[in-house]
Homo-oligomer: A and B are copies of this chain.
Amino acid sequence: MDALHTDLYQLTMAAGYFHRGMTSRVATCELFVRRLPRHRRFLVAMGLDRVVRYLEGLRFTDEQIAYLGAIPALADAMTPAFADYLRGFRFHGDVWAVPEGTVVFPNEPLLRVTAPLIEAQLIETFALSAINHATAVASKAARVVLAAGDAGVMEFGTRRTHPEAALDAARAAYAVGCVGTSNVEAGMRFGIPVLGTAAHMWTMAHPTEEAAFEGYVAVFPSAATLLIDTYDTLVGAARAAAIARDRLKGVRLDSGDLGALSVAVRKILDDAGCASAKIVASGDLNEHRIAELRRAGAPIDLYGVGTDLVTSIDAPSLGGVYKLVEIGGG
């Protein structure tokens, strides 16, 4: 079903090779990155799984072929013979790749394809799209995970990226060491642990914070991680401890000076007998901010990272290229 997820010129070139009798030539293409983006000293290869599923399922439906015939730039070449070729299209090439999660450097091939020229050409756009996106996110997520050290990183970025891109971002983040994602579909599809706490809207929908916490603990007696920054974080911490007591699994800070607040909240929780309750921090975090918090000794157990991770914000696109490196006769 992904056959048309490509640039038009891959199809015009394919039609050209077909009509010029060049279909039996064998081409080898490599996908690599020429230069590291700014702020990156390495990349983590990701996206192969999506490319393999694409190659295995690559088929053109009759409806798609009819649509191609209606594109002016392709019309000249959409003969019955080429339509038949597309109808029977299967990818027959060999694919070599570094395993997902491999650290790679400039000019190192992430993927090598040896296939009939027409097939090697047709798959270029999708391969670049899937690998550029997933590798960019994995490379950013790896930096965040390294900065967090012993603390866990949870991927919280769905709302800041496209709904489908969010799934592959969650997968990439987990592959490089995040402990889980907030994205439920990613959890179901890829077997990633799904994590979360309470929401500000929950607190605001109740007459008081106390009522909100009491209600939450009543519904989730064994999994109460309370969001304590809706009104006053320190008051919220004391209230969470008083209400949930030894069932308090954790608290989340989502605003303010996370370093100072986490120290104060830790003391409140410990003094109230909630020593096992975890502190989760979120809010505009990235590897630099997390490193600062850790250098300052902030007692944060888990970091929720969204925007900067899923958009790879300081290097939002990866310049991977797919180049013909060898072509046989025929």
Contacts and interface: CB of A to CB of B under 8 A. Distances in A.
6 contacts: A7-B156, A8-B183, A64-B188, A133-B163, A204-B324, A204-B327
Interface stretch (A106-114, A217-225, A291-299): A217-225
Contact of A196 (B7, B68, B319): B7
Contacts of A159: 7, 124-125, 128-129, 132, 320
Contacts of A260: none
A6 B195 CA distance: 12
B324 A317 contact: no
Interface size, A (range): 35 or more
Interface in A1-45: 2, 4-13, 15-17, 19-20, 22, 25, 27, 29
A86 interface: no
A105 interface: no
Contacts of A29: 201
Contacts of A25: 205
B223 A73 contact: yes
Contacts of A11: 184
Given A77-B219, A159-B129, A196 B22 contact: no
Given A129-B161, A162-B162, A194 B311 contact: no
